[in-house]
Amino acid sequence: MKLTVLIDNNTLTDRYFYGEPAVSYFIEEEKIRLLFDVGYSDAFIKNAQKMNIDLSDLNFVVLSHGHLDHTWGLGPLIQLFTEWGIEDIKYLRPTVIAHPFAFLPRRINTVGQIGPLVSEKEAARHFRLRLSKEPVWLTDRLVFLGEIERKNDFEAKNPIGKIIESDGEKDDYVMDDSALAYQTTDGLVIITGCSHAGICNIIESAKEICGDDRVRDVIGGFHLLKPSRAQLQGTLEFLKKLSPVEIHPCHCTDLSSKIALSKVVDLKEVGVGLKLEYE
């Protein structure tokens, strides 16, 4: 599997790409090509073009969850598809893989919409949709984890604003937050968006679904932004015991948390333009 970082908060030194506080990865596995999240704007498209990555033959667009910094790029992607249609440029119609709650409206305090700007109905006009709480295998080795079971007592305890479901507005515990897991010969590679479900819960879910306790790498947001002492300490103890080969925390992982993590595991830098490859 090959993974290229199209969008992150940071860009690598001497790599002249666009960055934004968001996530988008381009992944190639066997003959499958997919986007994991689409960032906040059209920046992921601009970066893909600069990297000579062709987005016309995507098989899947996987959404980690329904927040603006992971889904608002759907609009520019639809615009790109529309322009290709006008110009008679052939492209595949990818399948969107996500949790059923990913397209629901959300708000936080006075901010009226932090969920997707593209509705589920509108998305279905441009993509095939497969919305599932259950795991979805994209290849023999790559799986969308579905709804993450929240087992421990130190993660995913506080709601983030409100979510508007069919029966009304509720506290939003971001139950749609999910991730990908890839089975390598050396253990699992786990790819996250923001880890609102808890990075440790996500890892445990991946191990159970894939039947492998070994972890090769974890890349993505760890949702450690000014974490509570209990959350940070619980995460450190979990990762120290897990002993992954390395980790690539980014996006919603603050500097203090990265420094703490680096004391218990081998922590690597992430930025737009980073390319990772796993056997």
Q: What integer is the mean pLDDT of 74-99?
A: 97
pLDDT tens digits along 226-248: 999 999 999 999 999 999 999 99
Distances (CA, A) of 152 to 86, 149, 231, 265: 51, 9, 10, 20
What's 27's DSSP letter? E
**Residue 202 main-chain phi, psi, to 5 deg:** -65, -45
Q: What topology does CATH give the domain 2-277?
A: Metallo-beta-lactamase; Chain A (3.60.15)
State the sign of the Cα–Cα–Cα–Cα dihedral 95, 96, 101, 103.
negative
Dihedral (CA of 121, 123, 125, 128) sign = negative
Rounded CA-CA distance 137/29 in Å is 12
pLDDT tens-digit series, residues 98-126? 999 999 999 998 888 999 999 999 999 99
**If you write DSSP's letter for every residue of 170-218 in order, what string do you get?**
EE---TT--EEEEEETTEEEEEES--TT-HHHHHHHHHHHHT---EEEE
